[in-house]
Amino acid sequence: MRRLWLIFSQAATVALAVMFVVATLKPQWLQRDGRGFAEVVALSQAPLLPASAAAAASAGASFTGYNAAARAASPAVVSVTASKAGLRNPHAQDPTFRFFFGERSAETQVGFGSGVIVSPQGVLLTNNHVIEGATEIDVRLPDGREARAEIVGTDPETDLAVLRIQLDRLPAITLGNMQALQVGDVVLAIGNPFNVGQTVTSGIVSALGRQGLGLSTFESFVQTDAAINPGNSGGALVDVRGHLVGINTAIFSRSGGSMGIGFAIPVDVAQQVMEGLLRDGQVTRGWIGVEPRDLTPEFAENFRLPIKDGVLITGVLQDGPASKGGLKPGDVVVTVAGEPVGNTAQLLHRVAALKPGSPAVIGVQRGTQTLQLSVTVAQRPRQTQRQR
């Protein structure tokens, strides 16, 4: 019995040794469910791909980054050089001053930014603060061509400007769909930071509809962590297809450089402003002549208001549209043309969307009274550039 057990043990040991050698040197000889042993191990250790890379792999292609988006959009993103005459010394005409300091002419000031060609006919979008006050505006394309630009129109309240250049065979960027853009989507920022030349950076959409930053009157920014630096202003924010989703306009920074918080004007706002400037030379917006302020819980409680959301009217322009319609200081606006209003930014956007010359119903809470006032909307006066 002991002899049989010894023979069995030796045979089992030899069989295991043979299987180990075969598995090491000839794994294809061992099959499991129609697949080799080595293939099973490789599949269990396969690295997980990003969603975009996985989609490319499933389509039979390897993920190579966002070079296709950069190639599609970059030819339409230009460098903008704005020049304006410097200020002359107020004592320049004083003979004594000229005796000691000589004749000194005002030095030309030069600023750099970016722009985006949106039409083969030479229409460009950029920021108003890039070209404000400029006497000469020069545009340089990525292919090396240069042209002098003329100003079609500006809109300081959204910090947008429309330029035009006269060149043949101009590339034009494709406008994207803001409704499809979501937080977390990959975006590329293309521009001319620090005037080093065209640069592409990548990031994601960090937030949508960002307001209350004090950068412009009408704010609804796309926030991104794609690196945006001085000189990127007026450049393109594009999606992974290379379609324009925003005009880069500002950064939050304590050092002057990128800190991962940049803001872009949504493409739908830019398109609306551009069409108004091309058609009428100005952007038509509604205006009722009030001084608004966000309603605070303390105010609502102190005056025993039955509402918590709305916009407090602290001042009404004498003989303005709101005054003629019966609006008074202390009223709280809760709706405009049937649309709810929860803060000052919403009130500005709702009123601006109204057609000048047409009547609009303003829902108001006056103490314990709920009123519906009819106001004839006027054309919003043109504003000057805000201090950035």
Token pair in block for residue 53: 């890379």
Catalytic residue among 74, 129, 225, 349: 129
Q: Active site includes 233?
A: yes
User: In whole angstroms, what is the distance from residue 164 CA to residue 149 CA?
Assistant: 5
129 is catalytic: yes
Sorted by sequence, the CB contacts under 8 Å of residue 104 that are 6+ apart come out as: 89, 92
Q: Are residues 267 and 178 in contact, defined by beta-carbon separation less than 8 angstroms? A: yes
Q: Which of 74, 79, 159, 216 is catalytic?
A: 159
Active-site hit among 79, 114, 206, 233: 233
Q: 3-state SS string over the chain? A: CHHHHHHHHHHHHHHHHHHHHHHHHCHHHCEECCEEHHHHHHHHCCCCCCHHHHHHHHCCCCCCCCHHHHHHHHHHEEEEEEEECCCCCCCCCCHHHHHHHCCCCCCCEEEEEEEEECCCCCEEEEEHHHHCCCCEEEEECCCCCEEECEEEEEECCCCEEEEECCCCCCCCCCECCHHHCCCCCEEEEEECHHHCCCEEEEEEEEEEEECCCCCCCCCCEEEECCCCCCCCCCCEEECCCCCEEEEEEEECCCCCCCCCCEEEEEHHHHHHHHHHHHHHCCCCCEECCEEEEECCHHHHHHCCCCCCCCEEEEEECCCCHHHHHCCCCCCEEEEECCEECCCHHHHHHHHHCCCCCCEEEEEEEECCEEEEEEEECEECCCCCCCCC
Which residues are tagged catalytic?
A: 129, 159, 233
